[in-house]
Amino acid sequence: MKIHSSTLRLLALATFFLSCFRAGAEEARWLSDFNAAVAAAKASHRDILMDFTGSDWCPVCIRMEKDILSTPAFKDYASKNLILMRVDFPEGRQLPQKVQDQNNDLQNKYGAQYLPTYILLDGSGNVLWQEVGYVEGGPSAFIAKLDSLKK
């Protein structure tokens, strides 16, 4: 059976896109649904890192995102060790009412009075660690703090 070059190119292209999709699936992503984060944490035996942020107006939040949370080092660490949960309080866009209500409830429940606040929870919702404000030292310092909390 002879395979045409156009068929081979199509197979190569399909393989490429599938490998990109698989690689993307492993990348850390931020959830906005607390129940989904808890379920994912329980299923994967990982802790939840909640980021209480004002993503579009809080200068310190924006700096943390740029300097630490969006770096390849942190993304790689998080994809292997954490379930990420963003608890956002934006000013320039409207979140769905259900998400706003959830975020307000989480802010009250965990006492996150200042932004940014980072709270690490186990899969049962128990607080393991809390940090308020900018974390100096870049992604390696932030990762070291998280690693020091492992059981």
Whether residue 118 is contained in a domain is answered as yes
**Which residues make Cβ contacts (< 8 Å) with residue 98, sequence separation at least 6?**
none
* Maximum C-alpha span of the chain: 69
CATH number at residue 58: 3.40.30.10
Q: Residue 50 and residue 59: Cα distance in Å, rounded?
A: 18
Residue 87 pLDDT grade (very low, low, confident, very high; cuts 50, 70, 90): very high
Q: Residue 63 and residue 136: Cα distance in Å, rounded?
A: 11
Tokens 């299923």 correspond to: 43
Whether residue 1 is contained in a domain is answered as no
Whether residue 80 is contained in a domain is answered as yes
Is the full-model pTM beyond 0.85? Answer: no
Considering its fold, how many domains does the chain have in total? 1
- The secondary structure element, H or E, covering residue 47 is strand 47-53
Mean pLDDT of 47-56: 98
Residue 135's domain comprises 27-147
User: Which value, in Å, is the radius of gyration of the alpha carbons in the chain?
Assistant: 19
Mean pLDDT score of the chain, rounded to an integer? 87
Whether residue 135 is contained in a domain is answered as yes
Q: Beta partners for 129?
A: 120
- The secondary structure element, H or E, covering residue 21 is helix 5-26
Whether residue 55 is contained in a domain is answered as yes
Mean pLDDT of 72-97: 97
Q: Is 120 helix (H, G, I), strand (E, B) or coil?
A: strand
Whether residue 20 is contained in a domain is answered as no
Q: Is the pLDDT of residue 12 over 80?
A: no
- 27-36, 86-95, 103-112: range with lowest mean pLDDT: 27-36
**Which residues make Cβ contacts (< 8 Å) with residue 62, sequence separation at least 6?**
55, 56
Whether residue 19 is contained in a domain is answered as no
DSSP label at 70? T
Residue 27 pLDDT grade (very low, low, confident, very high; cuts 50, 70, 90): confident
